[in-house]
Structure 1
Amino acid sequence: MQRSPRILPIGVILFAAPFLGSCAGAEDSEATRARDASGDVPTFTVDPSWPLEMPDKWIMGAVTAVFVDAQDHVWVTHLPETLTPEEISAAQDPPLGTCCVPAPVVIEFDAQGNVVQGW
């Protein structure tokens, strides 16, 4: 007995529909509250001097997430594997240069931009 080639796509759709439906219409609650309170969409500005220089010649790759906790500390995750060998020349074996090394994947900054911890 041969199966119809349409069974697999239908099964995938039926399996995924509840999950996709739960995501539809979901909004960031803080952004929604800020917009509802003032009637305007919040705006942000970039501070090129933040964060301050990182310790131990750290350098970050592509940032994947940013989170601010209740203490106004900023948590950042990044992908060190996106850095090129030239960017992390001090981490090569043998070293190609004196700067830099990949930062830990998770870094915590205080509100002033100082590194609190990283792992």
Structure 2
Amino acid sequence: MHENEIAQQVIDATFKVHTRLGPGLLESVYEVVLAYELRNRGLVVDRQVPVPIQYEGLKFDEGYRMDLLVNESVIVELKSVEAVTGVHKKQCLTYLKLADKRLGLLINFNTELIKEGMHRVVNGLQ
């Protein structure tokens, strides 16, 4: 399945989760429920995936953790914040580069309309 097809499944599942739960919950709640919803759709979902940092030829395991990695190709970063800022988008792009992935979805569940909380971040993807 191509990254864009996976992203569409994530977006559809996000709409369902947001419709049922609404805004205002902790990020961890949305993470576990969205992962459940995506698995029910037949996707492979890994939670809190560690990504080491490479620096000057050294590997540091104290990197970050992706919220969700879907079908080993799409990173999903979840937020439950007042507003997504430019630094959140740049952070997602950095995650894509470190993990050598091409597509990320930055999703803020703390919005009245979930479409306002969805952001596509790409790293060399058309």
More strand by share: 2
Higher relative CO (Cα under 8 Å, sequence separation at least 6) belongs to 2
TM range (shorter): under 0.3
TM-score of the aligned structures, taking structure 2 as reference length: 0.23
Please tell me whether Structure 1 or Structure 2 has the larger radius of gyration of its CA atoms: 1
More helix by share: 2
